[in-house]
Amino acid sequence: MDEKNRTVNLSYNEGQNTIDLPVLEGTLGPDVVDIRNLAKTGMFTFDPGYLATASCESKITFIDGDLGLLYYRGYPIEELAEDADYLETCYLLIYGELPTREQKDEFVRIVTHHTMIHEQLAAFFKGFRRDSHPMAMMVGVTGAMSAFYQDSMDYSSKANDRMVAAYRLISKLPTIAAMCYRYTNGLPFMYPRNDLSYSANFMHMMFSTPCETYEPNPVLVKALDRILILHADHEQNASTSTVRLAGSSGANPFACVAAGIACLWGPAHGGANEAVLKMLDEIGDVAHVPAFMDGVKNKTHKLMGFGHRVYKNMDPRASIMRRTCYEVLGELGLQDDPKFKLAMALEKIALEDPYFIERKLYPNVDFYSGIVLSALGIPVSMFTAIFAMARTVGWISHWNEMISDPNQKIGRPRQLYTGAQRRDYVPIDVRK
Ligand code: CMC
């Protein structure tokens, strides 16, 4: 970041005191006011929900919500979704540059050879009810990995140890996600296959059985790979900020990623594509759309898959996913699928309705990704688990960036306290 000798002058105590706050300039995006010295005045800033707060400096992902831009390490998401594959994107996010052919081959080799989990971890699943939500199991089993990879790791000073953790997480999360699905359905766990690509192997672990090998359709594998690319990172969103905050205390990276998974689970974040499909089920028929929209405008419910904290324009990931949706449904001959027709009817109305236009509410990636995942045969309850698996690389890249910074401090926000003033303890017998 550059300090450009510009300051914001803040006067307080009715003008009796002033403080100059430096303005910092990034390579792209808004300037930020550096308020680190403000605490010396005895005041804090107040920004619940971080509406105007840059929580850290980062070189990984850039979003321009007004223009609808998303870059990973400077590369537009459209180009990566079209020309790269997921593991190449992972390499880019972690290391900052696209790999050479040799670097990519070696990266793919390492990831592919670490996809099995410790056999003892499989036993953890038996402790869960069969009807547990996959995200509940993912939080637990991913967190449990910290007990398996704790010794001899020096994450704060050894870059190589951090990379080993990154490889392990990227390699093993699909295995854990698929096991969640298999366990719920009483199916035997399928070991990974090293002859398949990352996405094809995930589909194999989901859908093969010991009696029958699932042969992944290349169009569907490409669609899944694209979903993973689109969800790989999204700068300082709630789950990434959670991973950073957890990691800032020096916590084990597997435990930090488990915290990220917990945060992602919420319907306002990663749970949205699941919520979109549930919403489509509830609406049921195109004829019910006007009544549903009335409810949205009366704030009885939200139109899930619409709106975004950062994008006040079309989410660039949504445009790519929309195209992918058509490709997949075309490949499977599902163009007339009633759920898809219903989604298109909602999209049309919302894009033309003043309620959405005035509030700059556009479809986000989750509006379409749920329909694609559904067409791939993935049950709704697994949608967020797949998002978690894709986002693991983003979380671990941010964690690595943070831990590598020699000036890194533990995250410790302050508050505006509005509770009781000091008061004396009242013995229980005299309390009214
Ligand atoms: N349907 C109807 N109204 C909405 C919606 C929606 N989906 N989203 C926002 N609004 C309204 C909201 O009621 C408010 O109206 P008013 O100004 O009259 O009070 C206005 O738009 C501003 O909304 P907000 O809640 O202040 O915006 P936010 O930045 O706090 O929330 C959001 C962003 C994503 C949580 C929200 O738009 C939402 O809940 N959308 C549905 C869930 C969803 O699709 N989430 C996926 C996000 S993309 C995946 C990811 O990156 O994690």
277 & 256 share domain: no
Query: Which residue range forms the structural domain that includes residue 107?
Result: 76-265+379-403
Backbone dihedral region for residue 245 (phi beyond 0: left; psi -120 to 50: alpha; all else: beta):
alpha
Q: Which atom of ligand 1 is nearest to the CA of 364?
A: 48
DSSP three-state, residue 32:
strand
The answer as to whether 171 is a domain residue is yes
CATH code of the domain in which 143 resides = 1.10.580.10
Looking at residue 203, its pLDDT comes to 98
What's the mean pLDDT in 222-237? 97
Q: How many CA atoms lie within 13 A of 240 on its CB side?
A: 25
Q: In which element (H, E) is residue 75 found? A: strand 75-76
Q: Give the whole-angstrom CA distance, residue 27 versus residue 1.
A: 8
Residues flanking ligand 1, CB < 6 Å: 234, 237, 268-270, 272, 296, 299, 302-309, 359, 361, 364, 366
Q: What sign does the CA torsion over 104, 108, 111, 113 have?
A: negative
Distance of CA 18 to the CA centre of its chain: 41
Residue with tokens 């019910």: 288
The answer as to whether 350 is a domain residue is yes
The answer as to whether 415 is a domain residue is no
Instruction: Please tell me which residue in 225, 269, 315, 398 is annotated as part of the active site.
Output: 269
Q: Number of folded domains in the chain?
A: 3
The 8-class DSSP code of residue 2 comes to: E
pLDDT tops 80 at residue 150 = no
Looking at residue 268, its pLDDT comes to 83
Distance of CA 351 to the CA centre of its chain: 25
| 401-417 confidence digits (pLDDT tens) | 999 998 899 999 999 99
Assigned token pair, 9: 């002058």
219 & 86 share domain: yes
Q: Give the whole-angstrom CA distance, residue 173 versus residue 217.
A: 22
142 & 259 share domain: yes
Please give the distance, rounded to the nearest whole angstrom, from the Cα atom of residue 320 to the centre of ligand 1: 21
Instruction: Please tell me which residue in 204, 308, 315, 398 is annotated as part of the active site.
Output: 308
133 is catalytic: no
What's the mean pLDDT in 168-176? 98
The answer as to whether 408 is a domain residue is no
342 & 253 share domain: no
Looking at residue 206, its pLDDT comes to 98
- Considering only 121-130, 146-155, 283-292, which range has the smallest mean pLDDT? 146-155
| 60-71 confidence digits (pLDDT tens) | 999 999 999 999
Q: Give the whole-angstrom CA distance, residue 209 versus residue 178.
A: 12
Looking at residue 321, its pLDDT comes to 94
The answer as to whether 1 is a domain residue is no
What's the mean pLDDT in 262-273? 88
398 is catalytic: no
Q: Which atom of ligand 1 is nearest to the CA of 306?
A: 7
Q: Quick one: what percent of the chain has pLDDT higher than 90?
A: 82
Please give the distance, rounded to the nearest whole angstrom, from the Cα atom of residue 306 to the centre of ligand 1: 7
Q: Give the whole-angstrom CA distance, residue 102 versus residue 114.
A: 19
158 & 176 share domain: yes
Render the burial of 287-321: b for 16+ CB within 10 Å, e for the rest. eebeebbeebeeeeebbbbbbbebbbebbbbbbbb
Which pLDDT band holds residue 1 (cuts at 50, 70, 90)? low
Q: Which atom of ligand 1 is nearest to the CA of 238?
A: 52
Render the burial of 254-285: b for 16+ CB within 10 Å, e for the rest. bbbbbbbbbbbbeeebbbbbbbbbebbeebee
The 8-class DSSP code of residue 6 comes to: E
pLDDT tops 70 at residue 151 = no
pLDDT tops 90 at residue 26 = yes
Looking at residue 229, its pLDDT comes to 98
pLDDT tops 90 at residue 238 = yes
CATH code of the domain in which 337 resides = 1.10.230.10
Looking at residue 4, its pLDDT comes to 66
Mean residue pLDDT across the chain: 94
| 343-388 confidence digits (pLDDT tens) | 888 988 888 999 999 999 999 998 999 899 999 999 999 999 999 9
